[in-house]
Amino acid sequence: MAGATLALDYRDALQVLLAIEETVKFPQAMLQGMGEKLLEFHQQRFTEQKSPDGTPWQSLSARYQKRKRKNADKILTRDGHLRNTLRWQVNANELLFGTDRDYGAIHQFGGTIQIKSRPQQAYYRTKRNSDGKTEVGNQFVSKKKSNFSQWHTLPNYSITIPARPWLGISATDTERLLEIARQSFQRKTGG
């Protein structure tokens, strides 16, 4: 070899490897960053009303949309409880993300809910007819507007809810999460 010498100080390489090992052993800070990013992705998904793969959620049935008063044009957003209960949590070396609401699963996967028959009190308003007799109106009213109530038995029925996937990550989301991991390693290694 003519006139060239390469000297490698193994201590620099060892420091980089030790920093990477620390990040792998104790990934809590990296996972917390990922948890915040997951929350951001899912909040945006509720705004756009699309599944992780970009498919729009199936629209509401006309019957349900008519009955729905608040946020009638929003899917999976009656009162905002599902969206507002999304949480992330880091346990040791794992990141957990989701909701504690039972109905989150049926909206994700779809399914049929069986409702058993049950008694229910209905409220009406009575009025006097032209003969001076009292008759019960044929429309339900709120309890405070009623002056007559009657118990009825509602029969068994079922409700079918289509799958509207809201939980998950897209290919773009995956790239953003990987970027958080890369940045975490770069901070540790000084790169």
Per-residue pLDDT reduced to its tens digit, 63-97: 888 887 776 678 888 777 888 999 999 998 899 99
SS3 at position 118: strand
**How deeply is 11 buried, as exposed, middle or buried, from its count of CB atoms within 10 A (0-12, 13-18, 19+)?**
exposed
**Residue pair 185/18 in contact by the 8 Å Cβ criterion:** no
- 16 pLDDT higher than 70: no
Whether pTM exceeds 0.85: no
Look at residue 9 in the predicted model and tell me its pLDDT.
Answer: 67
The encoded tokens of residue 152 equal 């009825």
| Cα–Cα distance for residue pair 148/140, rounded to 1 Å | 10
